[in-house]
């Protein structure tokens, strides 16, 4: 297969930011990309597996290794590079979903983060790819989605899940009573790939056909490089985004779609305009901006010699504090129905406080991080990410963040877009000291290990190697290994590759968790590729194709252990 890439346009990236998904229509010519015969072959091979198609679990890739050609095609590689930056990684979790006649629709849900749980991010760190090898009309039960839902969490009824991973029992509850969204069924021709934001709410719809089987192969991909190092990884022709066209979009669903899919359809939710700061913030982040900036409500520190200027400044300060009080109160609102207001307020607060240490301290004090509930802590995390690097000094000095997984998660996301080496080094030291000191909270250790992977500091690698070897919790070890892969891709371990490779091989053979072993295998594979490139004097070699290996730890999808998918 060809190794070229077909990058996305500005409009496509902006549409993904707003809608949460992007459809890649089949365009295979059979030479550079898979053609129709290829897709038919995949369908027939999956059909021949019978019940084993789903039972293979993560091992569906080594069972059908030709699947890698779907995701290595120029179209798919270009789209994933555009959304996740260069060097992205194929996650070791994947699944073949089989829908037979009579299958009922699923609950609305979002997938868990397989191998390591962490707080969900508005910015695209993870993307899911849904591949359909056969024509999938509405009768076959295509995947249903709630466009624009990727920024919203559900807390009520979430059970044991940590990070807003509840589910809805019906489309009506999800679409009308909570967020007033419009559901859509992704009917598509054979060979289509749907890329969705990992946190987009979705569900498998009912298969109402008489005798047709539908397969959907779900693969996951994660970002390895900060957008500050690889900004605008698509064909960027204009860094000024235009969101008005998305506000004017009308519902595309038809009554026919609704009747076949069993989904409820409503007008586009009225809160779209409030999400513009979120869209703009994600766009700025993907363009490599170190912080979300706004010209509104900035403090004027110049001493003016005129009374009129002084009066203007005083009025602006009054407006700032009125806005602060209103936005902070929205962050404290409870229940799922208020989630759109919380999300919009978090980003508006971030834009308001960016670069203003006094306002940041005032907001953090008002929000009482030590007693915040799950939805409030998540909103604080989103606000801190929107503020950007100017929030780092307070976070590094304040002991309260050490007890909040959401805030530790935000620290890592902020560091990921911090251009100052001194700040990254300071964050690395605080996070390393904290991990070595230990914590009874697995989630905090998990988020700290994740944050270390964003520091681009070699010293953090030694901490992560110790976590990989000794932490008793598999999720934390898996996150540490994933963070080591990020540091590897950042190029900050080039002078210690052999030692890291030995540690990866030891984890691959000795760890009893399937995802730790899989990450370690991918790490050793990438290090081998990099060592060969360095021998040639090539320090800019692209990441290799994903390693294809059989997982000996079991499939992880036994009936007693099955989680939501599709």
Q: Is the pLDDT of residue 555 over 80?
A: no
* Percent of residues, the chain, with pLDDT higher than 70: 80
Instruction: Give the chain's mean pLDDT.
Output: 83
If you count them, how many residues does the chain have?
A: 566
CA distance 308 to 524: 66
Q: Dihedrals φ, ψ of 16, to 5°? A: -65, -40
Q: Is the pLDDT of residue 123 over 60?
A: yes
Q: Is the pLDDT of residue 183 over 70?
A: yes
290-313 pLDDT, tens digit per residue, is 544 433 333 333 333 333 333 333
Q: Name the nearest CA neighbour of 528 among 492, 501, 550.
A: 501
Q: Dihedrals φ, ψ of 203, to 5°? A: -165, 145
In a domain, 342, yes or no: no
Specify which residues 204 forms β-bridges with: 143
In a domain, 229, yes or no: yes
Q: Is the pLDDT of residue 264 over 70?
A: no
> What pLDDT band is residue 116 in, cutting at 50, 70 and 90?
low
Q: Residues with Cβ < 8 Å from 239, sequence gap 6 or more?
A: 232, 287
| Joined tokens for residue 412 | 């890592």
Query: In this predicted structure, what is the pLDDT of residue 542?
Result: 85
* Percent of residues, the chain, with pLDDT higher than 90: 57
Query: In this predicted structure, what is the pLDDT of residue 14?
Result: 98
Three-state SS string over 179-224 comes to CCCCCEECCECCCEEEEEECCCCEEECCCCCCCCCEEEEEEEEECC
51-61 pLDDT, tens digit per residue, is 999 999 999 99
CA distance 317 to 36: 63
In a domain, 186, yes or no: yes
Question: What domain range includes position 40?
Answer: 10-271
Beta pairing, strands 214-222 & 89-99: antiparallel
Q: Dihedrals φ, ψ of 143, to 5°? A: -65, 135
27-49 pLDDT, tens digit per residue, is 766 666 788 999 999 999 999 99
Q: Which of 66-80, 214-228, 434-448 bottoms out in mean pLDDT, i.e. has the lowest? A: 434-448
In a domain, 279, yes or no: no
Q: Is the pLDDT of residue 267 over 70?
A: no
Q: Name the nearest CA neighbour of 488 among 524, 538, 445, 448.
A: 524
Q: Is the pLDDT of residue 558 over 60?
A: no
Distances in Å between the Cα of 254 and the Cα atoms of 145, 218, 261 are 15, 27, 11
In a domain, 98, yes or no: yes
For residues 177 and 121, is the Cβ–Cβ distance under 8 A? no
For residues 215 and 134, is the Cβ–Cβ distance under 8 A? yes
Burial class of residue 27 (count of CB atoms within 10 Å of its CB; 0-12, 13-18, 19+): middle
CATH value at residue 211: 2.60.120.620
In a domain, 19, yes or no: yes
Q: How far apart are the first and last CA of the chain?
A: 28
| Most confident residue range from 150-154, 173-177, 316-320 | 150-154
How many domains, in total, are found in the chain?
A: 1
- Biggest alpha carbon distance in the chain? 83
CA distance 137 to 140: 6
In a domain, 234, yes or no: yes
In a domain, 302, yes or no: no
């Amino acid at each position: 297969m060809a190794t070229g890439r077909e990058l996305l346009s500005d409009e496509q990236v902006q549409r993904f930011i707003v809608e949460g998904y992007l459809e890649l229509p089949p365009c295979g010519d059979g030479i550079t990309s898979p053609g129709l015969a290829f897709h038919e072959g995949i369908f027939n091979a999956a059909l021949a597996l019978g019940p084993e198609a789903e039972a293979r679990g993560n091992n569906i890739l080594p069972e059908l290794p030709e699947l890698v050609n779907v995701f290595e095609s120029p179209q798919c590689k270009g789209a994933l590079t555009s959304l996740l930056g260069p060097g992205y990684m194929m996650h070791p979790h994947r699944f073949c979903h089989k829908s037979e006649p009579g299958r009922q629709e699923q609950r609305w849900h979002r997938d868990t983060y397989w191998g390591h749980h962490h707080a969900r991010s508005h910015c695209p760190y993870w993307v899911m790819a849904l591949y359909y090898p056969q024509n999938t009309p509405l009768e076959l039960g295509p995947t249903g989605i709630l466009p624009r839902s990727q920024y919203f969490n559900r807390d009520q009824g979430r059970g044991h899940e940590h990070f807003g991973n509840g589910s809805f029992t019906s489309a009506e509850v999800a679409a009308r009573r909570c967020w007033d969204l419009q559901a859509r069924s992704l009917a598509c021709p054979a060979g289509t790939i749907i890329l969705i934001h990992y946190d987009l709410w979705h569900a498998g719809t009912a298969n109402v056909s008489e005798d047709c089987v539908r397969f959907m192969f779900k693969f996951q991909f994660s970002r390895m490089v900060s957008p500050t190092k690889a900004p605008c990884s698509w064909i960027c022709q204009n860094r000024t985004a235009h969101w008005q066209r998305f506000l004017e979009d009308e519902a595309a669903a038809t009554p026919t779609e609704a009747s076949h899919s069993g989904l409820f359809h409503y007008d586009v939710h009225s809160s779209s305009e409030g999400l513009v700061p979120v869209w703009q913030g994600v766009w700025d982040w993907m363009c490599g901006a170190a912080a979300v900036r706004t010209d509104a409500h900035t403090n004027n520190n110049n001493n003016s010699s005129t009374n009129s200027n002084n009066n203007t400044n005083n009025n602006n300060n009054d407006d700032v504090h009125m806005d602060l009080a209103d936005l902070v109160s929205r962050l404290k609102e409870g229940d799922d129905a208020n989630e759109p207001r919380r999300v919009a307020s978090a980003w508006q607060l971030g834009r308001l406080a960016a670069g203003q240490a006094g306002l940041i301290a005032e907001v953090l004090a008002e929000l009482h991080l030590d007693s915040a509930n799950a939805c409030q802590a998540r909103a604080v995390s989103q606000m801190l990410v929107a503020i950007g690097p100017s929030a780092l000094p307070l976070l590094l000095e304040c002991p309260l963040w050490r007890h909040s997984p959401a805030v530790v998660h935000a620290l890592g996301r902020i560091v990921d877009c911090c251009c100052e080496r001194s700040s990254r080094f300071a964050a690395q030291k605080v996070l390393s000291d904290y991990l070595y000191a230990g914590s009874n909270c697995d989630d905090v250790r998990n988020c700290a290990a994740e944050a270390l992977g964003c520091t681009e500091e070699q010293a953090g690698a030694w901490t992560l190697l110790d976590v990989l070897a000794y932490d008793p919790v598999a999720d934390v070890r898996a996150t540490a290994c994933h963070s080591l892969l990020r540091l590897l891709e950042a190029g900050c371990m080039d002078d210690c590759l052999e030692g890291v490779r030995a540690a990866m091989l030891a984890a691959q053979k000795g760890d009893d968790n399937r995802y730790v072993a899989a990450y370690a295998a991918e790490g050793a594979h990438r290090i081998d590729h990099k060592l060969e490139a360095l021998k040639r004097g090539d320090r800019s070699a692209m990441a290799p194709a994903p390693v294809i290996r059989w997982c000996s730890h079991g499939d992880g999808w036994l009936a007693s252990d099955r989680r939501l998918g599709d």
